[in-house]
Structure 1
Amino acid sequence: MRSRHPRRVHRLGAVLVALAALWSGGFLWFVDEVPRAVDDETSHTDAIVVLTGGRERLTTGLDLLEAGLSQRLFISGVYKGVDLAEIIQLGRGHAGLKDAVVLGYAADDTVGNAIETALWATEHNLRSLRIVTGAYHMPRALAEFRHALPEITLIAHPVFPDQVKSREWWRWPGTAALLATEYSKYLAAIIRHWFLPRKAAP
């Protein structure tokens, strides 16, 4: 009787190849979805939300606040021990804006950012948010925020760190690895959302 082991190995190999092809195709789609510019630079929102992860995000959020695109700024995922004076100093000294800035210390990741912001936005009855984060991070951030806040209007305001070469990512191993990691996390978020009920903010 012929062994079935080689046939099983062949089938497993075919499945792995198919999964790799699907992942690769999805990755190329994801890279194309990473923003190349800010689509909406003028709409006023109830609040601006900055997800911590780089000085460019903080300065952009403070600049948008100073430009009048909102009357309040929420910074989610601030390290414990960092106070508002340090944030303002990082943001080129926008001292006059300190009364409009709120710091959130509860979030450790993107899921936490969405939950922390949802609690704050619900408490203040907000209906629209401008989300500030890295362009490479924006697809996953929007997925998490839309899941946590399905009734709130979200405007993406990506920032573009110099070290992330998303336009020619294939030439930069560091950027390629960052995008691949971000895509895998995005997939995990989408799969998780399939199994969790979509509901309004708590």
Structure 2
Amino acid sequence: MDPRSAQLAPDARPDRPRRRVGLFRAAALAVLALGLLGVGGFLVFLMQLRVEESKPSRVADGIVVLTGGSSRVSDAVELLAAGYGKRLLISGVHRTNGASDISRSVPESKDWFGCCVDLDRSAVNTRSNAVETRRWATERGFRSLIVVTSNYHMPRAIAEMSHVMPDIELIPFSVIGDKWRDEVWWTSGATMRLLLSEYVKYLAVEARVRLARLGLDIAPESSEQAPEPTARRPATALAN
């Protein structure tokens, strides 16, 4: 054995622990950076959410409301009655429910169903809401829409709709729930979980939309199939 090799071997061994420490520090910094990025993104997401309801800035051709609570539909009907749109689309109505079911849930809508309200029973999630809304708006030649949904759901809804309807102007109308008014969101565990869940869904939509613009459509629209109806649900209820 060459004596010089025997002398060099011990000197080289201390480099391994130093390399491990360096890799650990790099990994820790990467995790910290991702954490800060996530927190910053969540704060930006929260800044998009309205905390008070305000009337739309102008009249649009049509109004679309994404089901998920009777207050959304009620507010949309009020906008229709006030002349903010020519017609109203209620998107995401359960297949077993009809106009009479919604009328019972939202009494003020009864007088409008005969002339100006359309029901979409095909949409099962926010993405299919956007697809069905595009079909409805295109058939009627609408170039502007007021979008009605809950404030926490609005960023994801607009992201989906602007992707499939880039030539149609979207005017958000955020519905503020009673719980949002009655308590500060960060003091409620349920509200915090809802916002974090919605933020993750929003990030997923933004990633998919950006990839699609680059020609990488990882989930084509045609791959979504509406499930068969199961138990009867409230007329205005859908998970969004």
Q: TM-score over 0.5 for the alignment?
A: yes
Residue 57 of structure 1 corresponds to 72
Residue 87 of structure 2 corresponds to 72
Residue 155 of structure 1 corresponds to 171
Question: Is this contact kept in 2: 1:50–1:75, CA < 8 A?
Answer: yes
- Which AA in structure 2 matches 1:182? E
Question: Is this contact kept in 2: 1:40–1:155, CA < 8 A?
Answer: no
Residue 190 of structure 2 corresponds to 174
d(CA) in 1 for partners of 2:21 and 2:208?
35
Structure with bigger RCO (C-alpha 8 Å, 6+ apart):
2
Describe the SS at the equivalent of 2:160: helix
Q: Deviations over 1:150-181 (max 9, x none)?
A: 11111111111112359722111111111111
Cα distance change of structure 1 residues 12 and 166 upon mapping to structure 2, 3 Å threshold: farther
- Which AA in structure 1 matches 2:195? L
Alignment of 1:178-189 (within 5 A): 178-189=194-205
Alignment of 1:106-185 (within 5 A): 106-164=122-180, 168-185=184-201
- Which AA in structure 2 matches 1:30? F
- Which AA in structure 2 matches 1:59? S
d(CA) in 1 for partners of 2:37 and 2:183?
22
Question: Is this contact kept in 2: 1:165–1:172, CA < 8 A?
Answer: no
d(CA) in 1 for partners of 2:130 and 2:186?
31
Instruction: Note the C-alpha offset of 1:134.
Output: 0.2
- Which AA in structure 2 matches 1:133? T
Cα distance change of structure 1 residues 32 and 42 upon mapping to structure 2, 3 Å threshold: closer
- The structure with the larger Rg is 2
Instruction: Note the C-alpha offset of 1:36.
Output: 2.1
- Which AA in structure 2 matches 1:35? R
Residue 191 of structure 1 corresponds to 207
Which of 22, 41, 46 matches 2:56? 41
Instruction: Note the C-alpha offset of 1:94.
Output: 2.8
Let me know the Cα RMSD of the aligned residues: 1.9
Instruction: Note the C-alpha offset of 1:42.
Output: 5.6
Instruction: Note the C-alpha offset of 1:92.
Output: 1.8
Uncovered stretches (5+) of structure 1, i.e. residues with no partner? none
Output the TM-score relative to the length of structure 2.
0.76
Output the TM-score relative to the length of structure 1.
0.90
Question: Is this contact kept in 2: 1:138–1:158, CA < 8 A?
Answer: yes
Instruction: Note the C-alpha offset of 1:13.
Output: 2.3
Percent identity (aligned): 37
